Amino acid sequence: MRIRIVDAFTARPFTGNPAGVLLLDNAFPDDNRLQNIALEVNHAETAFAHRLPGDGEADWALRWFTPATEVNMCGHATLATAHVLYSTGAHEGPVRFATRSGVLIATPGEDGSITLDFPTAPLTPVELPEGVAEALGAEPLTAFDTGPNIGDLLLELADEKTVHALRPDLKALAAYSERGVIATARAENPDLGYDFVSRCFFPNVGIDEDPVTGSAHTALAPYWSERLGRTDLTGLQASPRSGRVRTGLRGGRTLLTGSAVTVIEGELLA
């Protein structure tokens, strides 16, 4: 079984968000095997995909596992999987993935980028939970629930510098949402090519800080589109590895565009 490590939402190796990708010949093996492989890969996500019969609503079945659990939605590992399908010739043109979050579509661009079509996260304003400011290490301006597919608490902070400087108490932060916390702020200088910044902390699924989170941008896109008055934006995820996600809000759907590069290819022996 071939296994690849792909850096997603970047065009340069060793940046963006790494994901393991395994294309399976047949149906998924048992969940314990999938989870053990994801733990061995030990990246934020490992994606497993297998081809479906050609007469259905989707072309490939796709599942995502962190080192600790299976998740409902993952943007960067979907981008990485589409990149592997295109770069190996396993699929051409738009690819439809059957997932826990419904059918997700990836479309290749002429410039080598890939655009994902994901459901837009429903944002519900909530009162700021007691103690979350202390756990995060900064006082949020607003707080929003992001719905069941993502399961995060979205917090806007005062400015970009505050987002960059965060050093949260991850153990304490785990108490405030199903998956984790998205911290965001408006870009200080949009001339640098991005409109907002974010960082994502997901201690409840075994990820202290996710390098670049496509799924989080299904919440960040509607949040910042309303405030900035534009449907097409670019987000910078300000993790140490960093990466950019181009977003396009299309009502109930959010388009996520980025590039990917394969950095390791090998064989799974176990």
Q: Which residue pairs, CB below 8 angstroms and at least 24 apart, start in 127-131?
A: 129/153, 129/176, 131/172, 131/175
| Angstrom distance (rounded) from CA 141 to CA 158 | 7
Q: Which of 45, 156, 160, 209 is catalytic?
A: 45
Question: Which residue is it, tokens 């608490």?
Answer: 153
Residue 183's closest CA among 193, 172, 173?
173
210, 243 in Cβ contact below 8 A?
Answer: no
d(CA 126, CA 109): 38
- What is the total residue count of the chain? 270
User: Active site includes 267?
Assistant: no
Output phi, psi for 253, to 5 deg.
-125, 150
Which residues have a catalytic role annotated?
45
